[in-house]
Amino acid sequence: MITLKFEKLYNRDRIAQPCFVSVPLAPGVLKEIDRVSLKQNGKLLPVQKKVLSSYPDGSVRFLFLRFLADIPANQGATVECDLNSDSGACREADEDACKELLNRTMEFCTTYVQKQFSGPVLTTTGKEYVMQYGDWSVAEEGPVCVILSNQGSLSDGILCETRITAYAGKTYYDAELRLVNATEEPLPVTSWQYQLVPEEPGGKVRTCVADSNYKTSFLTGDEGETVEKSIDAEFIMNQSNEHAAETFHGTFFADVTGEKGGLCATVFQAHQNFPKALRAGKDGILISLVPKGSRPEVLQPGMAIKQRFQLYFHGADEDLQTINHQSTMYQMPDVPVLSPKVYEDSGLFPDIFVSREHQNSEVECALSMSADIHTRSYGMLCWGDAPDPNYTAQGRGQGSLVWTNNEYDYPHACMLQYARSGVRRCYDTCIVTGTHQRDVDICHYSKNPLLMGGQWEHTKGHCVNGVIVCSHQWVEGILDCYHLTGDERFLEAALGIGENVLRLLDTPEYRKTGGLNARETGWALRTLTALYKETFDKKWTGKCDWIVEQFKEWSDTFGGWLSPYTDNTAIRVPFMISVAIGSLMRYYREFPREDIREMILTAADDLVENCYMDTGYFFYKELPSLGRIGNNPLLLEAMAIAYELTGETKYLEYGKNTFRMMVQGSLGMGFSAQKRIVEDIVLVGTTATKRFAQMFIPVTTYYKAVAENGMLN
């Protein structure tokens, strides 16, 4: 039995509330999903089941469940998941619940036809494009919801996917528009709008637009007057917000209500994805995902962007506070949380789970603060990413911000912290940043096969003048988002990165022994291993053995994994060597071989012998001009791996000073509300997301090892 827990959230009851959860499972635990049931207070709940990933023996690796739960006002709730119940009873419960929900929906019956929905209409410089819909297909269906998908276009090379998610017994649905620039030129979007025209309202008409942060501000008209609100950079600059914005900032909705009923449109995370505007009048609702007159949002070639809104159809007597409640729940829905033990027992996550008796409050606080304190970038093309102040100061962006593109797999670090802590903010941050990475940071169209499907290295404008190389492509966080949301487009993006990496590895640049640094093929190995673990498809391991052999030859030829630096030097770069060690270890865990084990330990010993200083730290790079204290947390993972392979605590001793500095540095971090407009975005905070992405796995794996060996003091 697996318990799903809901936190206390809203002060109103939520009845048959649509929820979803992804359950990780160990091999052999579950083979028949028909026997999976959910119960709340002894009552079977309607549930929609989907297998996201399976083991080679056919057992379920990740189980995705959609269900309808009752969550009382001002209280938490629990739901029990039984993996081995009566399948017949489960089917009957689903059928009975669907009938009940259908009858409830029919109590509110208003018909809307195609002509009442207009758009989306997109305007570029001097041109206007109207959506041309293709055939609709069913992406998912069951007793809880149906997801409809449409692959349409606005013109040749400007693609737009539409997704509609409708729930049983609910009079609202979630609409999602995903725009793709499948051209060779930048696409300046000067407006992007969707028009909703309710049936003739008749009589008195109430119009409303509203936005909130703490309390909601309503702008209303009682005689059908046109009311409108917009969110731009200046609006964000002058609005305070103390929430973790990945989880909540406020709501933004428009409503038109007449004698026959009403329609409310809520834009998801409008503040975070500004510019946005809403207008409500007798002629309906205008949703401006990019308002006319705002600064153009420029989609670079191959770039995609996704935006969401909810349409809520309600009765004529619905009051504004009830509409506000529905809109706010859309922004911050109820999310069931699994115990960290479920994640640990699945064996699908790194060894980061420290038992309560071994936990250290300072280290736990340091991890929590590192997860929470980071720069947030408000703006629809930048939300979910952050610039790196050092890269920018170095001039890598030629005067522009340099975006990390979630370097070092920031979404994956957030997911792992969520798995070990159950903290909701980390869950939301994983999805927000993973979605940005999937859409903005990946090349969705190019005539160059070495770019197609790949992730751009950190650069200005996310991809402007950028390159795609093996060392800056990550799939584990995108796969986490697939597991959390059940959205197969995350899996497609991860597989696309894998295909790109395979093509890159076939180029001459990657075939010269010692011609690149250790992280290039190291990260490639990590990516391919992750995709094998997800799919168990041997296509991903074909190049892995080749990479392993290349590392052997490299070490034998140069006496270690030395990297070319200046024209006449080959040096040790400890953090890059640590990337290679970590990647080889991931492959070793799947395919244990003594030669790989020996190679990892040889590299770890080489680090200690040649890169460890009398100060108790490892240096940055092996040159007199660069031999300063490196303080890179990746060394901690290398030492923890050497300990894992040998059981010798001497390796942990070498990481003590680095670990202590990382913990103290995190505890010394302060929450920064510094807010400023840079280029076309609003930046809040100053700490790069790369810090947490880089430190999380090294710190947690080392922390577990030293804690269990009594070496924390």
Same domain, residue pair 291 and 399 = no
Average pLDDT, the chain: 93
Asked whether residue 284 is domain-assigned, the answer is: yes
Same domain, residue pair 137 and 220 = yes
Same domain, residue pair 401 and 469 = yes
383 — phi, psi (to 5°)? -60, 125
The model's pLDDT over 197-238, given as tens digits with 9 standing for 90+, comes to 877 666 789 999 999 988 999 999 999 999 999 999 999 999
pLDDT of residue 92: 67
Q: Which helix H or strand E contains 525, and what residues bound it?
A: helix 518-535
Which of 54, 71, 106 finishes a domain? 106
Same domain, residue pair 122 and 101 = no
Residue 681, pLDDT > 70, answer yes
Indicate which CATH number applies to the domain containing 74.
2.60.40
Asked whether residue 17 is domain-assigned, the answer is: yes
Which of 331, 360, 379 finishes a domain? 331
Q: How confident is the model at residue 65 (pLDDT cuts 50, 70, 90)?
A: very high
Q: How confident is the model at residue 60 (pLDDT cuts 50, 70, 90)?
A: very high
CB atoms within 10 A of CB 266: 28
Question: Please, are residues 487 and 476 in contact by the beta-carbon 8 Å criterion?
Answer: no
Same domain, residue pair 229 and 248 = yes
Q: Which of 252, 264, 243, 387 is nearest to 307 (CA)?
A: 252
Residue 713, pLDDT > 90, answer no
Same domain, residue pair 167 and 247 = yes
CB atoms within 10 A of CB 35: 16
Indicate which CATH number applies to the domain containing 149.
2.70.98.60
pLDDT of residue 94: 64
> Which residues lie closer than 8 Å to 405 by C-beta, 6 or more apart?
385, 437, 441, 455, 456, 457, 458, 459, 462, 472
How many structural domains compose the chain?
Answer: 3
pLDDT of residue 515: 56
Q: Which helix H or strand E contains 3, and what residues bound it?
A: strand 2-6
The model's pLDDT over 489-515, given as tens digits with 9 standing for 90+, comes to 999 999 999 999 999 999 988 876 655
Average pLDDT for 351-373: 95
Asked whether residue 259 is domain-assigned, the answer is: yes
Same domain, residue pair 159 and 235 = yes
462 Cα distance to chain centroid: 16
Strand partners, 364: none
Which of 90, 106, 122 finishes a domain? 106
Asked whether residue 667 is domain-assigned, the answer is: yes
Token output for 324: 């506000």
pLDDT of residue 558: 85
Average pLDDT for 697-702: 97
Same domain, residue pair 393 and 459 = yes
Question: Please, are residues 120 and 193 in contact by the beta-carbon 8 Å criterion?
Answer: yes
pLDDT of residue 347: 97
Instruction: Look up the domain containing 276 and give its range.
Output: 114-331
Asked whether residue 550 is domain-assigned, the answer is: yes
Same domain, residue pair 364 and 325 = no
Distance CA 419, CA 427 (A): 9
Q: Return the SS3 of 85.
A: coil
Indicate which CATH number applies to the domain containing 397.
1.50.10.10
Q: How confident is the model at residue 427 (pLDDT cuts 50, 70, 90)?
A: very high
Distance CA 184, CA 487 (A): 28
416 — phi, psi (to 5°)? -65, -40
Strand pairing report for 206-212 and 252-258: antiparallel
Distance CA 300, CA 181 (A): 7
Average pLDDT for 470-477: 95
Average pLDDT for 280-300: 96
Strand partners, 65: 21, 49
CA distances for 621 relative to 80, 418, 582, 672, angstroms: 53, 33, 19, 31
DSSP one-letter code for 111: -
Percentage of the chain lying above the pLDDT 90 cut: 84
DSSP one-letter code for 101: H
pTM over cut 0.85: yes
Q: Which of 277, 197, 198, 264 is nearest to 230 (CA)?
A: 277
Average pLDDT for 348-367: 96
Same domain, residue pair 53 and 119 = no
Half-sphere exposure of residue 427: CA atoms within 13 angstroms, side-chain side? 21
Asked whether residue 210 is domain-assigned, the answer is: yes
The model's pLDDT over 597-628, given as tens digits with 9 standing for 90+, comes to 999 999 999 999 999 999 999 999 999 999 99
Q: Which of 287, 6, 349, 280 is nearest to 122 (CA)?
A: 287
Asked whether residue 713 is domain-assigned, the answer is: no
Asked whether residue 227 is domain-assigned, the answer is: yes
CA distances for 609 relative to 42, 548, 587, 613, 654, angstroms: 62, 23, 25, 9, 11
Same domain, residue pair 435 and 452 = yes
The model's pLDDT over 78-119, given as tens digits with 9 standing for 90+, comes to 999 999 987 666 666 666 666 666 666 556 667 777 788 888
Structure-token match 């912290």, residue found = 417
Same domain, residue pair 463 and 578 = yes
